[in-house]
């Protein structure tokens, strides 16, 4: 295969992550501030409890389709690097470089910045903070997360496992209490479906999906750790399936709990400064990221063609429809963003394309050194 990674790359990595680590990594990476700041905007955009729940369910199923596809990719190419490796192996170093470029400048940095702002904003609801102190706390949170990630794979995984368990337990306890004590479903304004359907509703559904997919963002990052995973061919597909399914259940339960506690009208009106951050930044993250997630999913057809004689320990169920549906849905999301938010889409695409001259400079300098 062209552009194969040197075999010694994974030999220096200690395989220490098991199935439980991968599941908790997926769930912990995905669950952040999104489940707390996105539900209100989703209710406003689709104007119906039933349709809002459908958006969350469809977003979860779309992520699950991608997870099932990436499960086979991780089994076929269990190397550190994940999507970067798949794109580089099957297409060329240029799109792989553009993915790494976009991951650094938009996808990861945008998500981290939004989470940091959300953390300081919600802390400000409990403890009064000055604008400067709020910014210091946001930067401090990023520094703490960075420190944890450089402690080492096993140490970081242990911290991740405990924090994920605490987050999930807190959400489940909160949801149970709100469902038990809340009376939002019996109040006025409970509308399951909008009274009228049309182009505006379809556009609202698409815009709501951007926020929901941002809330689900992160399941694909687990593939970066393939070189540090015990028996990745077996553990990755199982972890992606279990982790993604768990997230769908948690998110649907939390949304029902919010509505039970506040009622749909109050839940839709609940907002914070963090929601404004999501509106400004999540669009870029989802638009840029899903361009490459679709491209990464498309590599499964190339891997199967090039390695038809190699039996994979895991094969995506429903092939070829599962990856095709994921790719088509991702394309529809990107197109909807270009139509409804052309300026933000253009900025996102511009950032991606700016990586091309950077790649040419890097290649020319590498050639000189060689």
pLDDT at residue 89, as a whole number: 92
Residue 1 located in a structural domain: no
pLDDT at residue 17, as a whole number: 83
Residue 7 contacts residue 195 (beta carbons within 8 Å): no
Residue 2 located in a structural domain: no
pLDDT at residue 233, as a whole number: 80
Residue 6 located in a structural domain: no
| Of 164, 166, 111, the residue nearest 142 (C-alpha) | 111
Residue 228 contacts residue 17 (beta carbons within 8 Å): yes
Evaluate the CA torsion angle 260, 262, 264, 269 in order and state its sign: negative
Residue 370 located in a structural domain: no
Q: What is the number of structural domains in the chain? A: 1
* Residue stretches of the chain with pLDDT short of 50: 1-11, 273-274
Q: How far apart are CA 64 and CA 243, in angstroms?
A: 9
Residue 369 located in a structural domain: no
286 is in which domain, residue-wise?
21-364
pTM, whole model, 2 decimals?
0.78
DSSP output for 247-310: HHHHHHHHHHHHHHHHHHHHHHH---HHHHHHHHHHHHHHHHHHHHHHHHHHHHHHHHHHTTTS
Residue length of the chain: 370
Half-sphere CA count of 136, side-chain side, radius 13 A = 5
Indicate which CATH number applies to the domain containing 162: 1.20.1740.10
pLDDT at residue 186, as a whole number: 66
pLDDT at residue 6, as a whole number: 42
Residue 188 three-state SS: coil
pLDDT at residue 16, as a whole number: 80
Residue 9 located in a structural domain: no
pLDDT at residue 5, as a whole number: 43
């Amino acid at each position: 295969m062209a552009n194969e990674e040197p075999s010694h790359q994974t030999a220096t990595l200690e395989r220490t992550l098991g199935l439980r680590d991968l599941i908790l990594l997926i769930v912990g990476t995905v669950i952040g501030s999104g489940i707390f700041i996105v539900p209100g905007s989703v209710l406003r955009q689709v104007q119906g409890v039933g349709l809002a729940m459908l958006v969350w369910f469809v977003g979860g199923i779309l992520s699950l389709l991608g997870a099932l596809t990436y499960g086979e990719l991780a089994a076929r190419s269990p190397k550190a690097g994940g999507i970067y490796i798949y794109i580089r192996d099957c297409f060329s170093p240029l799109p792989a470089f553009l993915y790494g470029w976009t991951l650094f400048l938009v996808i990861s940095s945008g998500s981290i910045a939004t989470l940091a702002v959300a953390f300081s904003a919600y802390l400000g609801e409990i403890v009064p903070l000055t604008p400067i102190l709020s910014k210091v706390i946001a930067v401090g949170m990023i520094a703490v997360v960075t420190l944890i990630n450089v402690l080492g794979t096993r140490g970081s995984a242990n911290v991740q496992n405990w924090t994920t368990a605490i987050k999930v337990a807190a959400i489940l306890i909160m949801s149970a209490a709100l469902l038990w004590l809340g009376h939002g479903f019996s109040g006025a304004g409970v509308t399951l479906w909008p009274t009228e359907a049309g182009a505006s509703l379809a556009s609202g559904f698409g815009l709501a999906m951007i926020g929901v997919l941002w809330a689900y963002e992160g399941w694909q990052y687990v593939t970066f750790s393939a070189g540090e995973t015990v028996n990745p061919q077996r553990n990755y597909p199982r972890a992606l399936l279990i982790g993604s399914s768990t997230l769908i259940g948690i998110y649907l339960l939390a949304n029902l709990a919010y509505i039970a506690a506040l009622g749909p009208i109050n839940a839709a009106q609940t907002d914070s400064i963090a929601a404004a951050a999501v509106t400004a930044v999540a669009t870029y993250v989802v638009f840029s990221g899903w361009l490459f997630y679709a491209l990464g999913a498309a590599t499964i057809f190339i891997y199967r063609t090039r390695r038809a004689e190699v039996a994979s320990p895991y094969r995506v169920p429903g092939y070829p429809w599962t990856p095709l549906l994921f790719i088509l849905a991702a394309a529809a999301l990107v197109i909807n963003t270009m139509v409804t938010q052309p300026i933000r889409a253009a900025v996102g695409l511009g950032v991606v394309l700016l990586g091309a001259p950077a790649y040419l400079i890097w290649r020319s300098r590498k050639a000189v050194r060689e």
